[in-house]
Structure 1
Amino acid sequence: MSCPICDKETDPKYRPFCSKRCADVDLAKWLSGSYAIPSEDPEDLEEAAREAESAPKRPH
């Protein structure tokens, strides 16, 4: 099995990662919201649309 972050061989101590660093990178992605489970719930979709409409516009 290879590390999902860097593809090196996993270390049993940090499985499924190869090191503490890669485990921490993965944790940071979860905490920052980079990982998300998509939702098909109509209420979630409506809330996301409202948030997108009210978000400040950024110039390109």
Structure 2
Amino acid sequence: MASDPKLVPLRPPRSCPICGKRAAKDAYPFCSKRCADLDLGRWLAGRYVIPGREEEEEDGRPDPDLEP
């Protein structure tokens, strides 16, 4: 069966964010369940942090920009 040039893949090939190998269809975007589990463990351990604004200034007063 020849590949149809009109067909576009659903998503471009990616490499695994943990080890760099090619992502597997059944573990996307990871290459395996092992890498997916490693990533989950990192999230649960708090190794990934999304930065946010502080709610109080250093002197303990609320930040006036955050008041409703």
For 1:10-25, list aligned pairs within 5 A: 10-25=23-38
Identity among equivalent pairs (%): 56
TM score, norm. by length of structure 2: 0.60
Q: Which amino acid is 2:29 matched to?
A: P
- Unpaired runs of 5+ in structure 2? 1-13, 59-68
The root-mean-square deviation of aligned C-alpha atoms, in Å, is 1.5
Say yes or no: does 1:2 pair with 2:12: no
Between Structure 1 and Structure 2, the one with more helix by share is 1
Larger Rg: 2
More relative contact order in 1 or in 2 (CA 8 Å, sep 6+)? 1
TM-score under structure 1 length normalisation:
0.68
Residue 53 of structure 2, aligned match among 14, 18, 40 = 40
Measured in 2, the distance between the counterparts of 1:27 and 1:42 equals: 28
In structure 1, the gaps of 5 or more residues are: 47-60
* SS of equivalent residue, structure 1 residue 26: helix
Is the partner of 1:13 in helix, strand or coil?
A: helix
The number of aligned residues is 45
Residue identity opposite 2:54 in structure 1: D
